[in-house]
Amino acid sequence: MRRRQKRVMQKLFFIVIIPIVSLCVTFILLYVFMPARHNTPVTPVVAAPIVHDATPTVAVSVPVELKISSIAVDALVNPVGLTSTGDMAIDENPEQLAWYQFGPKPGEEGSAVIAGHYGWKNGVPSVFNDLNKLARGDQISTYGADGQVKTFVVSRSALYAPDQDATTVFKSDDGKVHLNLITCQGSWNNSARTYSERLVVFTDFLK
């Protein structure tokens, strides 16, 4: 009887106990040597974006209005190109202004140019009749189609003959932002149908 019980116990040992012990040992080894997943940092699949300069770049819009409070100017601005003779065109309306669209917009690097009439037409005073009254330090503001306001300050004025080279009025290479205003000045030449001089007011970007 005892021998029989001994043989049964041996069978139970090999069938039940040894597998349980082996399973426990395996579990302990896995727990000790396997890295803990909850402490492992997660690497993103998508690469981090490259961070560029955070300074926004705002496009300058086309000018549609110009104001000069010191001489009570508040006028619409229309884009123009060149005449058949290669001169800057000008708006026919004496109360409105012309922006040279082949040059910079007011607020862009370089010299933007806006021109207006001088004198009287059909009893109506022209928009730039008092442009010669501007003094150094006076401010000029342009308004873009999107509402942007660009403010300039007068630096100087100069007179040109109608046929004088005015390249410097339309171009600048100092890397700065300018707005130059043009109108007629002087005495009327009836045969040539023009005034004897051109007045240019040079301004620098303020804000």
Both 15 and 92 in one domain: the answer is no
CA–CA distance, 166 with 77 (Å, rounded to integer): 22
Q: Are strands 110-115 and 177-189 parallel, antiparallel or unpaired?
A: parallel
Helices assigned H by DSSP within the chain: 2-12, 18-33, 167-170
For residue 15, what pLDDT is reported? 52
Q: How do residues 144-177 score in pLDDT, each as one tens digit? A: 999 999 999 999 999 999 888 888 899 998 999 9
For residue 126, what pLDDT is reported? 92
Q: Domain count for the chain, please give it.
A: 2
Of 117, 98, 114, which is closest to residue 106 (Cα–Cα)? 114
Cut 0.85: pTM above it: no
Both 172 and 81 in one domain: the answer is yes
Both 178 and 122 in one domain: the answer is yes
Both 118 and 190 in one domain: the answer is yes
- Residue numbers of the domain that contains 167: 63-205
The widest CA-to-CA distance across the chain, in whole angstroms, is 148
Q: How do residues 60-90 score in pLDDT, each as one tens digit? A: 899 999 999 999 999 999 999 988 888 898 8
Both 96 and 190 in one domain: the answer is yes
